[in-house]
Amino acid sequence: MDSATIKKWALFFTGILCAILIANTLSNSIVAATQLTGPVGFIIGFVLYAVFFFGVLYGIEKITGILFFRFSYD
């Protein structure tokens, strides 16, 4: 296997991991700060997590040029 391919996959998985950690931290912080619990807290937390996750991936795409799930077409 080519070292460029290994580097590409390592950066891909590192980017995904960073997006997961950042999205989880931000969404949990906001839900905890607003003291939402139960089904409403779960739904709001889920939506916030998704927004932050895809937002972070989009930011990583713009900064590094690595494409996650083909978000960027430019």
Confidence of residue 72 (pLDDT cuts 50, 70, 90): low
In a domain, 73, yes or no: no
56 occurs within a structural domain:
yes
Residue 69 falls within a domain, yes or no? no
Structural domain includes residue 14: yes
Q: What is the pLDDT of residue 61?
A: 84
Instruction: Tell me the CA end-to-end span of the chain in Å, nearest whole number.
Output: 29
Confidence of residue 1 (pLDDT cuts 50, 70, 90): low
Query: Measured in whole angstroms, how far is the alpha carbon of residue 29 from the centre of its chain?
Result: 15
In a domain, 72, yes or no: no
Picking from 73, 27, 48, 69, the residue whose alpha carbon sits closest to that of residue 15 is 69
In a domain, 74, yes or no: no
What is the model's pTM?
0.79
57/62 Cα distance (integer angstroms): 9
Domain count, the chain: 1
Give the mean model confidence (pLDDT) for residues 39-49.
94
Residue 71 within a domain? no
Give me the chain's average pLDDT, please: 87
Whether residue 8 is contained in a domain is answered as: yes
Domain range holding 52? Answer: 3-64
Residue 37 phi/psi, 5-degree rounding, is -135, 170
pLDDT tens by residue, 48-61: 999 999 999 888 88
